[in-house]
Amino acid sequence: MSSGGELLALRREALVARGAVQRARAASELTALRQGLSLPRAAAAVAASPQGRSALLASLLFLTRGTRLARIARSAIAVVALVQLARAFARAREQPSWRPEHESNVRPAP
Geometric angle at alpha carbon 8, from 7 and 10, rounded to 5°: 65
Domain ranges of the chain: 1-37, 40-96
Q: Which residue has the higher pLDDT, 41 or 24?
A: 24
Per-residue model confidence (pLDDT) at position 65: 79
- The mean of the pLDDT values for the chain is 81
pLDDT value for 28: 93
Exposed e or buried b per residue across 22-49, where buried means at least 16 C-beta atoms within 10 angstroms of its C-beta? eeeeeeeeeeeeeeeeeeeeeeeeeeee
Give pLDDT tens digits for 55-96.
887 887 777 777 887 788 778 888 888 998 998 888 888 776
Count of H-run helices and E-run strands, the chain: 4, 0
The pLDDT-based confidence of 14 (bands split at 50, 70, 90) is very high
Q: What pLDDT digit, counting tens, does each position of 20-32 carry? A: 999 999 999 999 8
pLDDT over threshold 60, residue 1: no
What's the rounded mean pLDDT across residues 50-56?
82
pLDDT of residue 107: 61
Q: Are 47 and 56 contacting, i.e. CB atoms less than 8 angstroms apart?
A: yes
Q: What is the pLDDT of residue 18?
A: 96
Asked if pLDDT for residue 99 goes beyond 80, the answer is: no
